[in-house]
Amino acid sequence: MKLLSGRRIVLATLALTCASGLFALPARAADNAKQFIQGFGTQLVAIVNSPVPLPEKKAKVLPLVQKNVDIDGIGRYCLGRYWKIATPEQRQHYLALFHEVLVNAITDKLGEYRGVSFTIGDVTKSGGEDSVNAILTRPQQPPASMQWIVGYDNGQPQVVDVIGEGASLRLTQRNDYSSFIARNGGSVDTLLVALQKQLDRHAQAAN
Amino acid sequence: MISGRNGSRLRPRAQDQNDQTREGSSVHRRFRLGTLCLGLVLVGTTGCSSIKAPVPKDPDALAEYKAANDPYEPLNRKVFNLTMKFDKWALRPAAKAYVWAVPRPVRNSLGNMITTMNEPSVFFNDVGAGKPRRAGDSFVRWCINMTVGVGGLIDVAKMAGFPHHDNDAGLTMANWGISSGPYLFLPMGPSSFRDGIGYGIDQGLSPWDYVPRGYGLVSFNWAYNMMGVVHGRSEHLEDLDALQRDALDPYATIRSAYQQQRKAQAEAIKNDHRATVPDWYQ
């Protein structure tokens, strides 16, 4: 009996620990997401506002983006239903191109955001992801509010989407890609060619 | 398109929400030619080819088709292409010239005026949506800006704590639980059956239609409408250039962004439960 009650206490403690862990989990995750966006945002803003030339800023931002943005995850999401039918080679090729496209999209914006500051607001949970509200302030412009979606698929918090004016960037991108593929015979290769062309045009414009 | 009432919301890729509060949906609401253009386009296109997209059989493709909510895609794409041509050769150059010729502070003031002129329509829609606080805000904005704000040129109301918010009959109907119906691309911009009807209602809600007609007012209306369209387009020069450069299928990108944004706007209005009395009174 004594043994039994001892075991009961151990089990109860274990159950309680698990339960409290479970209850504490969302709060901790929300804090994590907030801290993560705060940290990432502060680093980004510091680079954007630093008085160094644009190419140097781009070089500094690149590792930061690669670490804190789940580019592969976003890429898979954006390919939508075509991810399933893509061959491993196509997937690999696509992700490599997508990396470049996304990094270009982010670094192209750097010049426009001089003098930016931001404040973090509430965190809401949706599914396995957290949505962090942020308000972006730029000189002589009205503040812009946006939501950063933070995912944990790779064991650490990473940005998986940005929602501005109610539109999710990754969903809009996915609809762009899937409509393009569907209208071009349903072949993933046409998308790869188009992305390559887009990158070539970008490189030409930069030179 | 971008000149369209709804086009003003389209900045899917741009993080910048620059001036959203200022120009909002009001800019081109009075672009009455749009209705005429729509009629012409409908007559021109329905006669020569199909207007409905075939329903796909593949389950994944079917799910995508349903999510896009665009059964009239072939017709919509024709209108989109025509609108983009008009934009490329007429509207965009006009907007660029406007930006070049008119300094930023003056453009801001004109944007304020256009927004203020549309406040009555926002007010009626706020009332229709059953949101007294929002209705009060737009009413106060109209009163302050039309008087102290010199006919709307200065947004004094914003400084006094009453920032502009968007509303239109499409959103009001959304709040009543009316679904959007299929997506439509109209010459004024991306829309839907519900929002297209809302556009018509908004025309009727504008008090400018009920002022006695006279030469001065007619001239003012023409100047105001045309300036509104050009001004609205000028606010999105960079965004839309970026969209056309980066999107592989700009039509689908605009459709997706528009549908998401309208949904979010309707949600935001629905979830606005602020008290009716202003903050300073509490």
DSSP labels, B55-101: PP-SHHHHHHHHHHT-TTHHHHHHHHHHHHHHIIIIIHHHHHHHHHH
User: What backbone torsions phi and psi does residue A135 show, to the nearest 5 degrees?
Assistant: -115, 125
- Confidence at residue B13, expressed as pLDDT on a 0 to 100 scale: 38
Chain A interface test: which of B8, B17, B65, B104 (most A C-beta within 10 Å): B17
Mean pLDDT confidence for B123-149 = 95
Residue of A167, A169, A180 lying closest to B261 (CB–CB): A167
- Confidence at residue A91, expressed as pLDDT on a 0 to 100 scale: 96
Start-to-end CA span in chain A (Å): 82
* Entry pTM: 0.82
- Confidence at residue B21, expressed as pLDDT on a 0 to 100 scale: 38
Chain B closest-CA separation from residue A101 CA (Å): 9
Chain A closest-CA separation from residue B64 CA (Å): 9
Q: Which token pair is B224?
A: 């105001």
Q: How far is it, in rounded angstroms, from Cα B243 to Cα B195?
A: 23
Mean pLDDT confidence for B14-27 = 38
| CB contacts, 8 Å: B61 with chain A | 81, 182
Q: Which token pair is B63?
A: 């799910």
Which residues of B sit within 8 Å Cβ distance of A?
9, 11-22, 60-61, 63-64, 68, 245-249, 251-253, 255-257, 260-265, 267-268
- Confidence at residue A111, expressed as pLDDT on a 0 to 100 scale: 75
* Residue B183, strand partner residues: B192
- Confidence at residue A149, expressed as pLDDT on a 0 to 100 scale: 95
Per the CB < 8 A criterion, the answer to whether B173 and B127 are in contact is no
Per the CB < 8 A criterion, the answer to whether B185 and B80 are in contact is yes
Nearest to B33 by CA among B206, B268, B203, B234: B203
Point out the least confidently predicted range of A127-131, A165-169, B47-51: B47-51
Kindly calculate the radius of gyration of chain A based on its CA atoms and give it in whole angstroms: 22
| CB contacts, 8 Å: A133 with chain B | none
Sign of CA dihedral B171, B177, B178, B179: positive
| CB contacts, 8 Å: B252 with chain A | 175-176, 178-180
Does A171 sit within 8 Å of B248, measured CB to CB? no
pLDDT band at B193 (very low <50, low <70, confident <90, very high): very high
- Confidence at residue B258, expressed as pLDDT on a 0 to 100 scale: 97
Residue of A80, A146, A182 lying closest to B15 (CB–CB): A146
| CB contacts, 8 Å: A177 with chain B | 248
Beta strands in A127-179 (DSSP E): 129-137, 144-151, 158-164, 167-168
Mean pLDDT confidence for B112-136 = 94
Does A176 sit within 8 Å of B21, measured CB to CB? no
Contacts of residue B15, defined as CB under 8 A and 6 or more positions apart, other chains included, come to: A109, A136, A144, A146, A162, A164
Does B264 sit within 8 Å of A165, measured CB to CB? yes
Nearest to B266 by CA among B163, B150, B171: B171
Point out the least confidently predicted range of A156-165, A189-198, B15-24, B271-280: B15-24
| A·B CB contacts under 8 A | 98
The per-residue pLDDT of chain A, averaged, comes to: 85
* Residue A146, strand partner residues: A134, A164
- Higher pLDDT, residue A114 or B58: B58
- Asked if residue B111 has pLDDT above 60, the reply is yes
Does B17 sit within 8 Å of A145, measured CB to CB? yes
Q: Name the residue in chain B with its Cα closest to that of A116.
A: B16
Chain A interface test: which of B9, B248, B259, B261 (most A C-beta within 10 Å): B248
- Confidence at residue B189, expressed as pLDDT on a 0 to 100 scale: 92
Instruction: Beginning with the edge strand found earlier in the chain, give each strand of the sheet holding A144-151 in spatial order.
Output: A117-126, A129-137, A144-151, A158-164, A167-168
Chain B closest-CA separation from residue A7 CA (Å): 50
DSSP state of A69: B
Q: How far is it, in rounded angstroms, from Cα B25 to Cα B7?
A: 8
- Confidence at residue A15, expressed as pLDDT on a 0 to 100 scale: 56
Point out the least confidently predicted range of A94-98, B48-52, B232-236: B48-52
How far is C-alpha B60 from the chain's CA centre? 32
pLDDT band at A8 (very low <50, low <70, confident <90, very high): low
Q: What percent of chain B has pLDDT over 70?
A: 81
Beta strands in A91-128 (DSSP E): 117-126
Chain B interface test: which of A165, A177, A178, A193 (most B C-beta within 10 Å): A165
Point out the least confidently predicted range of A23-27, B83-87, B242-246: A23-27
Q: What percent of chain B has pLDDT over 90?
A: 63
- Confidence at residue A170, expressed as pLDDT on a 0 to 100 scale: 95
- Confidence at residue A158, expressed as pLDDT on a 0 to 100 scale: 94
A187: left (phi over 0), alpha (psi -120 to 50) or beta: beta
Q: Which CATH superfamily is A29-206 part of?
A: Tgt2/MlaC (3.10.450.710)
- Confidence at residue A141, expressed as pLDDT on a 0 to 100 scale: 73
ipTM over 0.90: no
Give, in degrees to the nearest 5, the angle at Cα A39 between A33 and A40.
90
Q: Long-range contact list for B104-109, CB < 8 A, 24+ apart?
A: B107/B231, B107/B234, B108/B22, B109/B153, B109/B154
Per the CB < 8 A criterion, the answer to whether B4 and B187 are in contact is yes
Q: Which token pair is B55?
A: 């329903």
pLDDT band at A189 (very low <50, low <70, confident <90, very high): very high
- Asked if residue A48 has pLDDT above 90, the reply is no
Q: How far lies B70's CA from each of A23, B49, B51, B258, B259, in Å?
A: 43, 17, 11, 12, 11
